[in-house]
Amino acid sequence: MGRGRSIGLSLGLLAGVALVAAPAGVASAGADRAAASRAAAWLAGKQPSALPAGQQADVMVDMRITGTAPKALAPRLAALANAAPGYATEAGRTAKVVLGVVAAGGNPRRLGGTDYIARLQSQQSSPGRYGRTAFDQGLAMLALRAATGKVHGAAVTTLTALASADGWNFGLDASAAPDIDSTALSVVALRAGGTACSSPMMRRARAWIAAQRAGGGWTAYPGSPPSANSTALVARSDIACGGSAAGPLALIRSLQQRSGAIAFTKAQPESRLLATSESVPPLAGVSLARGLRPG
């Protein structure tokens, strides 16, 4: 999601919710934990003081996914605590704060004197409707799943009702055409809320996603080369539904550089921070819909 509308997607687990190794069968076919670890090591080289709050949270989650102990994330947690009050002004942003905090073993109800779970709940425009966009809604659902172990039914019902014929779009306008990123994220969020991948809406959405593949991957912009960002979201939706992510992960691995960083596209290596942070969970074979389970 290396685009202006992107706010990223990584997730973590709240202290108090069991953080366990993934049991056999959870990791997706095609997972490459060595590639995930190399990518996370590159991210770990970014100093806490150099990262904005949202990217800080992403890096914390990716480091935790690949085995960094929560204690080692303390400097990043301190930096996030300082930046969070001014950053968490929208549901998607608040959700990212929650995810970063829980990845570091902190308590998002008591971060620097602020309850970010309560703040997230206050950012509903109606019961179950978080923020204004698919990323607000999806990230909020994933953050609540990670923090509490469940997603309230109102959020699931709301997101399902906002689908178009084949998926979801950024503005959650059921009368408009779907887009790849919003549809893939919504599939993961609905799985987190317990929606079966065999349900009619999920089957239509996944079929539409599959039909959009071009050049070995997926892009947010039809006609453009496949990007790591969109392809990583597709891989996440495959993993959430228990399918093989070997196809999308092959594209992501082809974009990984010697440093461990992952380029946005073959022709555009910029935005490596976003592309890399969003690719770590699927490379690690983590099923985000179940909460974070380090590979």
CA dist 62 and 273 (Å) reads 12
Q: Which stretch of 61-65, 191-195, 200-204, 284-288 has the lowest confidence by average pLDDT? A: 284-288
Question: For tokens 């190794």, what's the residue?
Answer: 21
Instruction: Give the pLDDT of residue 271.
Output: 78
Query: Which of 19-33, 113-127, 247-261 is the least confident region?
Result: 19-33
User: What mean pLDDT is predicted for residues 100-124?
Assistant: 96
Q: Residue 4 to residues 23, 80, 177, 288: CA-CA distances in angstroms? A: 37, 22, 19, 24
Give the whole-angstrom CA distance, residue 88 versus residue 67: 27
The total of other beta-carbon atoms located within 10 Å of residue 4's CB is: 6
Within 10 angstroms of residue 62's Cβ, the number of other Cβ atoms is: 28
Mean pLDDT of the chain: 90
**Sequence-distant (≥ 6) Cβ neighbours of residue 88 within 8 angstroms:** 53, 94, 97, 116, 119
pLDDT bin (cut points 50, 70, 90) of residue 17 is very low
Helices (H), the chain: 33-44, 53-65, 74-87, 91-103, 116-122, 134-148, 153-161, 180-192, 200-211, 228-240, 246-254, 272-283
The predicted pLDDT at position 217 comes to: 98
Q: How would residue 294 be classed by pLDDT, with cut points 50, 70 and 90?
A: low
CB 130 within 8 A of CB 137: yes
The domain spans of the chain are: 33-290
Q: Is the pLDDT of residue 164 over 60?
A: yes
pLDDT of residue 3: 41
pLDDT of residue 229 exceeding 80: yes
Euclidean distance between CA atoms 271 and 139, whole angstroms: 21
- Tell me what the mean pLDDT of segment 67-75 comes to: 97
Q: Which CATH class is domain 33-290?
A: mainly alpha
pTM tops 0.95, yes or no: no
Give the lowest-confidence range in 102-116, 158-172, 263-277: 263-277
- Say if CB 291 and CB 13 are below 8 A apart: yes
Looking only at Cα atoms, what is the longest distance across the chain? 48
pLDDT at 22 > cutoff 60: no
pLDDT band for position 293 (cuts 50, 70, 90): low
Nearest of 207, 233, 236, 208 to residue 220 by alpha carbon: 233
